[in-house]
Structure 1
Amino acid sequence: MIITVTLNPALDKTLVLNRVSMGEVNRVDSTRNDMGGKGINVSKVLKELGMISTATGFLGGILEEVFRKELKCIGITDEFQSVSGNTRTNIKVVDEERKEYTEFNEPGPEILPEELSDFYDKYHALVKEGDLVVLSGGVSQGVPKEIYGTLTKMAKEKGARVLVDAEGEALVQAIHEIPYMVKPNERELAGIVGKEALNVDEMIHEGEKLVKKGIQLVLISRGAEGSILLTDHHTFMAEGLKVPVRSTVGAGDAMVAALAFGLEMKMNPKEMLTLAQASGAAAVMKEGTQAATKEEIYAHVKDAERKIKGWKR
């Protein structure tokens, strides 16, 4: 079973305008609301790929029932922990003329100590041997910075594999516990080694260091530039696919879903990278955090496969 963890979910409200004029009244051309949060986005893409997942994390306030009804409607198993605070709303503003995408993300609710304790109990009971746990996204207020390390350790003790997509201290703490796979983007990777940016050689070097720690797979996503996948034996470079971009929100989550799907289907690393690239390309062609369909994803697979090459170490 695949379990996705979303510790700070959000209603993603996307506003599309021809042109944004700061300091003035703006007329919105179209809007859409999507149940979001990185782990939930992963579950949505997995469902499109034909794989059921269980989603857990924190939900509260007036949006809790909205999310639970939507999860049931989509067919995602709901194991969220109820909390007293309000699930947040994130605003995504699309300026079509300038091709600019601006986000306003709320901090989310404060999680009380007893709510966190209840979540740990739920998580421990939920994870079983052979499961794949996806830890992705940021955390709410009141959640300890080492929680991804704690959840990674708990899952490994139960005999589960862990895939982590996070940044900053959450990623650092998870790495200490040696998850099965990590997917930092180039900015996140630079951040954990204390640098503003990394060139390609430096990215590969830092990725190799993570593999040497015992992490089986490291995918470094680079946006339009593509991505780099490292294992203990191989390094693959994927060139970005040229597609019309509607929104970059959720592209990384689509890649994570493809990686989780690939692990469950026992794909080899190159096949997983191919599907991840195709999923990311399909995602940026959609508005908001709407999941691309299986057909839309697989339409990019051949092109993605052609643009992957081995990198000699």
Structure 2
Amino acid sequence: MVITVTLNPAMDKTLIIDDFKLGAVNRTSDIRYDIGGKGINVSKVLKNFGIESLALGFLGGTWKNSFEKELDRRGVGHKFINIEASTRTNTKVVDRKNNVYTDINEAGPIIAETELKQFVDLYSESCSQGDIVVLSGGIPSSVPKDIYGTLIKIAKSKGAITILDAEGELLANGLKEKPYAIKPNNHELSLLFNKSIDNLDQIIDSCREIKAQGVENILVSMGSEGATYISGDKKYFAKGLKVPVRSTVGAGDSMVAALVYSIVNNLDIKETLIFAQACGAVTVTLEGTEACKLSDVEAIMERVRENIKEV
């Protein structure tokens, strides 16, 4: 079983506004709503890849039913703890004329101690030998910053594989429990090491330090520049593809889903990076936080393969 954890889900509201102006009245040319949160996005992609998952987390307020109905419609398994507070809304402003993308993300609900305990109990009961557990995204302010470390420790005690996609203190604390794999971007590496990390050599050096802490598999997304995958003693770099960009939201989540797909299908290191980079490239061509399809990913994998090298 694949388990995805989303501690701070959000309804993603995407506004399409041509020539967006600050401090002025702007009118939308289109609008869409997508259930989101990084773990939920991973589950959506996995479903399109033919891989079943169980989505866990917190839901409450006016959006709760919308999330559950949409997950049911997609055929994604889910068990969310019902909370008193309301699930947040994240607003994305897409200015197609100027090719500018603006995210306005809400902080999220207050999680009561009893609600957090309910979740940890549910999570512990759900994890078992051989599971793949994806822990990704931010957390509400009331949840302890070491929560991912706690959840990694529980999953590993049950014999599950863990993948962590987080930033800042959440990533630093999670690394202490040595997850199987992590998926930072270069900006998140910069935050982790408190210095600028923006080229391949710097990324490889920082990953070497992370590997020394006991994390063997590190997939680093670099936006339009491409992606790097370091696993064991092997290192590969895939150059970014030029594709029409409609939304950058969810590209990293699709790459996390690619890591899960690679484990399930026993892909080698090189093929894992090719697949992950193709997933990210396809995702940015989609509206909102729509999930990429396997057929579309496979259609551009050869283009990625032509631009990959061992480093």
- Structure 2 CA distance for aligned equivalents of residues 276 and 84 of structure 1: 37
Q: How many residues align?
A: 311
Equivalent position of 1:148 in the other structure? 148
Which is further off, 1-10 or 289-298? Answer: 289-298
Matches within 5 A, 1:63-212: 63-212=63-212
Q: What is the CA distance between 1:265 and its match in structure 2?
A: 1.2
Cα deviations by residue, 1:7-64 (Å, 9 ceiling, x for unpaired): 0000000000111111111110001100000000000011111111110011111111
Equivalent residues of 2:54, 2:78 under 8 A apart: yes
Q: What is the CA distance between 1:127 and its match in structure 2?
A: 0.4
Equivalent residues of 2:11, 2:90 under 8 A apart: yes
Secondary structure of the residue that 2:151 maps to in structure 1? helix
Equivalent residues of 2:94, 2:100 under 8 A apart: yes
Cα deviations by residue, 1:50-83 (Å, 9 ceiling, x for unpaired): 1111100111111111101111110110111111
Q: What is the CA distance between 1:190 and its match in structure 2?
A: 1.1
Equivalent position of 1:26 in the other structure? 26
| Deviating 4+ runs (over 4 angstroms) | none
Equivalent position of 1:231 in the other structure? 231
- Structure 1 CA distance for aligned equivalents of residues 198 and 24 of structure 2: 38
- Structure 2 CA distance for aligned equivalents of residues 147 and 219 of structure 1: 22
One-letter amino acid matched to 1:222: M
Runs of 5+ unmatched residues, structure 2: none
Q: What is the CA distance between 1:210 and its match in structure 2?
A: 1.6
Secondary structure of the residue that 1:34 maps to in structure 2? strand
- Structure 2 CA distance for aligned equivalents of residues 263 and 37 of structure 1: 22
TM-score by length of 2: 0.98
Secondary structure of the residue that 1:300 maps to in structure 2? helix
Secondary structure of the residue that 2:108 maps to in structure 1? coil
Q: What is the CA distance between 1:200 and its match in structure 2?
A: 2.0
Equivalent position of 1:303 in the other structure? 303
Equivalent residues of 2:197, 2:203 under 8 A apart: no
Equivalent residues of 1:211, 1:230 under 8 A apart: no
Equivalent residues of 2:6, 2:38 under 8 A apart: yes
* Percent sequence identity over aligned pairs: 47
- Structure 2 CA distance for aligned equivalents of residues 110 and 262 of structure 1: 36
Equivalent residues of 1:212, 1:232 under 8 A apart: no
- Structure 2 CA distance for aligned equivalents of residues 25 and 193 of structure 1: 41
Runs of 5+ unmatched residues, structure 1: none
Q: What is the CA distance between 1:306 and its match in structure 2?
A: 1.4
Equivalent position of 2:284 in the other structure? 284
Equivalent position of 1:47 in the other structure? 47
Secondary structure of the residue that 2:156 maps to in structure 1? helix
Secondary structure of the residue that 1:79 maps to in structure 2? strand
- Structure 2 CA distance for aligned equivalents of residues 310 and 47 of structure 1: 31
- Structure 2 CA distance for aligned equivalents of residues 70 and 198 of structure 1: 38
Q: What is the CA distance between 1:264 and its match in structure 2?
A: 1.4
- Structure 1 CA distance for aligned equivalents of residues 214 and 307 of structure 2: 28
Which is further off, 203-212 or 191-200? Answer: 191-200
Cα deviations by residue, 1:200-224 (Å, 9 ceiling, x for unpaired): 2121011122223221210111000
- Structure 1 CA distance for aligned equivalents of residues 285 and 59 of structure 2: 29
